Structure 1
Amino acid sequence: MTEIVLENLGKKFGEFTALNGMNLTIANGEFVALLGPSGCGKSTTMNMIAGMLDPTEGEIRFSGKKMNGVPMGRRGVGFVFQNYAIFTHMTVRENLAYGLKAQGESASQTKRRVDDIAELLQLTDLLDRKAAGLSVNILQRLAIGRSAVVEPSIFLLDEPLSNVDAAFRSVMRSELKALQRQFKQTMVYVTHDQLEAMTMADRIAVMDHGKLLQVGTPLEVYNNPVDTFVARFIGAPGMNLLKGHVGSADGAASVDLGATGRTKVVDAKSKGDVIFGFRPEEVKPDPKGELHMAVTMVEHIGARTILHLMEGQHEAKAVLPAGSDVPNQGDIFHFNVPGTAVRLFDATTERAL
């Protein structure tokens, strides 16, 4: 296992800054997801960890050893790409054994480890098949197995499931986590899919425009986003964010949301304009609720129903259990939001208060 330390890490391509002053420590055996939209710098970060790119500034250390300038082949890193890069003229067995043979492993040891990883990834029945003609799902599983079988101390995965179907993606999330636990590898996983990050990672590093915005466990990032970008990006749907004004009503702090209503808040540390945040799952229907919005659309999605709400310039969503007393499109929906579920953000900086 290896600890990864990124200290003031930066990367420029000409005048363009792809990564700016990133500080992140990934512990031995930890599974960390680099999460963010396309172009946020997450793949650039991974490529520098791997040794495929040199930093413009800052340091990369593996268990205290400086890695700047060390070639990829000497870093003990396994890498799985989005496009899997399989040798299609070889069999599945030959692909899995490729790295082990390059390391000089014995034939018996190679066979044992190939058989073990094939069983773990459900490739045993395909070991003697040529890789050419296999489905995208199988090729991606094979790419993961080929890197994992050499048991690198660091395992890097760059959007490995983005090209596969939804059902397979769900299976592979479980298998990747099982793989990481079995080999106790330090794993860094690049994704734009917050569901992948939330379900697999020990911690999530949320990035945008070349900056690291927040690092924490999935629940920490979900419950306490540091700014409105993280609040919107994490969650499906993301957090509702309504412009409001903190004042006092009946001796207690409250947020005035204009035509939407006024609601009490706890721990309001400032007065004035704010952004009032709450998760769609925290909405509590109440005919006498303090807040109200018009229902513009109703989505029935399996075990839950999503209400699309609007009042003036305010838009929001509410998630209710399927089968509950759901209003119809055009109805006025009255609701409350528990004070403990409210998150307030500065109206100017959009940072959490």
Structure 2
Amino acid sequence: MTEIVMQNLGKDFGDFTALANMDLTIGDGEFVALLGPSGCGKSTTMNMIAGMLTPSHGDIRFDGRNMNDVPMAKRGVGFVFQNYAIFTHMTVRDNLAYGLKAQGVSKSEITRRVGEMAELLQLSPMLDRKAAGLSVNILQRLAIGRSAVVEPAIFLLDEPLSNVDAAFRAVMRSELKALQRQFKQTMVYVTHDQLEAMTMADRIAVMDHGKLLQVGTPLEVYNNPVDTFVAQFIGAPGMNLLSGTVTGGDTGNVIDLGSAGHSGPVTTGQGGDVLFGFRPEQVHPDPNGPLEMRIVTVERIGARTILHLDAGARRAKAVLDSETPHPDQGELFRFSVAASDARLFDSATQGAL
């Protein structure tokens, strides 16, 4: 296991800044997801950790040792790419054993470790099959096993599940987490899929346009986003943001939301224009609630119902249990949001208040 420290880390490609001044510590044995949209700098960060790119400035340290000039082969890092890069002319067994043979591991130890990894990743029945005839799902599982079986201190995964089907992604999320717990590796996982990050990572590092915006546990980032980008990027659906104005009410300050009504009492030292944020799951149907919007679309998704709401220029979503009664499409929906669930953002800076 290894602690990774990135200090003032940056990477420029000519006039383009791919990563700007990142400060991030990944603890020994921690599973951290680098999360953000395409082009946010997450793969650039991972490639510098691996040694595939040299930083333009700043430092990368493994357990206190500066790694800036250490070649990839000497970093003790395992890497799994989006494109699995398996030796298709070899059997599953030979693919799993490849890295161990290169390290000079004994035959008996290779047999043991390959057998254990195949069992963990449900590859045992196909150990003697050629990789060329296997499905994409199995090839990606094999690629993960081939890197993991050498037990690197640091395990880097760059969107390894993006090419596989949805059902297999769900299986692999639990298997990757089990793999990390078993080997206690420091794991860095690059993804644009917030569900992957939320379900697997100990902490999430949210990035956008080359900047690290927020680091925290999945619940910390979900409950207390630092700005509107994080608020809407995290969650499915993301946080509702309604434009409003802080005004005085009978029981204290409230947010005037125009034709959508008003919030309950809020605590804020800022007046003027704000964004009133709340999660779709935190909407409570309430015939006496202070908020009212029209239902424009109803999505029924198994145990959940998603209401798409409209009030003039304001849009929102509500996620309800499928058994919860609600008005029909085209009708008005009255609801409330608990004060503890509301989040306020500065309308100009987009930062949390």
With the shorter chain as reference, the TM-score category is over 0.9
Alignment-derived partner of residue 181 in structure 1: 181
Alignment-derived partner of residue 210 in structure 2: 210
Matches within 5 A, 1:157-168: 157-168=157-168
Matches within 5 A, 1:7-156: 7-156=7-156
Instruction: Answer yes or no: is the 8 Å Cα contact 2:251–2:265 preserved in 1.
Output: no
Q: Distance in 2 between matches of 1:135 and 1:195?
A: 24
Whether 1:281 and 2:281 are equivalent positions in the alignment is: yes
Q: In the alignment, residue 97 of structure 1 is paired with which amino acid?
A: A
Whether 1:315 and 2:315 are equivalent positions in the alignment is: yes
Matches within 5 A, 1:216-295: 216-295=216-295
Alpha-carbon distance, 1:263 to partner: 1.9
Alpha-carbon distance, 1:275 to partner: 0.5
Please give the per-residue CA displacement for 1:28-63, whole angstroms capped at 9, x wherever unaligned. 000000000000000000000000000101000000
Range moving further from structure 2, 36-45 or 322-331: 322-331
2:164 partner SS: coil
Q: Distance in 2 between matches of 1:284 and 1:269?
A: 26
**Unaligned ranges ≥5, structure 1:** none
Alpha-carbon distance, 1:264 to partner: 2.1
Alpha-carbon distance, 1:133 to partner: 1.6
Please give the per-residue CA displacement for 1:72-108, whole angstroms capped at 9, x wherever unaligned. 0000000000001000000000000000000000000
**Unaligned ranges ≥5, structure 2:** none
Q: Distance in 1 between matches of 2:191 and 2:88?
A: 26
Q: In the alignment, residue 254 of structure 1 is paired with which amino acid?
A: V
Q: In the alignment, residue 52 of structure 2 is paired with which amino acid?
A: M
Q: In the alignment, residue 50 of structure 2 is paired with which amino acid?
A: A
Instruction: Answer yes or no: is the 8 Å Cα contact 1:252–1:264 preserved in 2.
Output: no
1:334 partner SS: strand
Q: In the alignment, residue 26 of structure 2 is paired with which amino acid?
A: I
Range moving further from structure 2, 243-252 or 211-220: 243-252
Q: In the alignment, residue 57 of structure 2 is paired with which amino acid?
A: E
Alpha-carbon distance, 1:287 to partner: 1.3
Q: In the alignment, residue 86 of structure 2 is paired with which amino acid?
A: I
Instruction: Answer yes or no: is the 8 Å Cα contact 2:255–2:266 preserved in 1.
Output: no
Q: In the alignment, residue 219 of structure 1 is paired with which amino acid?
A: L
TM (norm. structure 1) is 0.99
Alignment-derived partner of residue 191 in structure 2: 191
Alpha-carbon distance, 1:327 to partner: 1.8
Runs (4 or more) in structure 1 with deviation over 4 Å come to none
1:100 partner SS: helix
Alpha-carbon distance, 1:269 to partner: 2.5
Instruction: Answer yes or no: is the 8 Å Cα contact 1:99–1:150 preserved in 2.
Output: yes
Alpha-carbon distance, 1:288 to partner: 1.6
Instruction: Count matched residues.
Output: 353
Instruction: Answer yes or no: is the 8 Å Cα contact 1:100–1:110 preserved in 2.
Output: yes
Q: Distance in 2 between matches of 1:167 and 1:264?
A: 41
Instruction: Answer yes or no: is the 8 Å Cα contact 1:266–1:340 preserved in 2.
Output: no
TM (norm. structure 2) is 0.99
Q: In the alignment, residue 258 of structure 1 is paired with which amino acid?
A: G
Alpha-carbon distance, 1:251 to partner: 4.2
Alpha-carbon distance, 1:129 to partner: 0.3
Superposed CA RMSD in Å reads 0.6
Please give the per-residue CA displacement for 1:292-315, whole angstroms capped at 9, x wherever unaligned. 001000000010000000001000
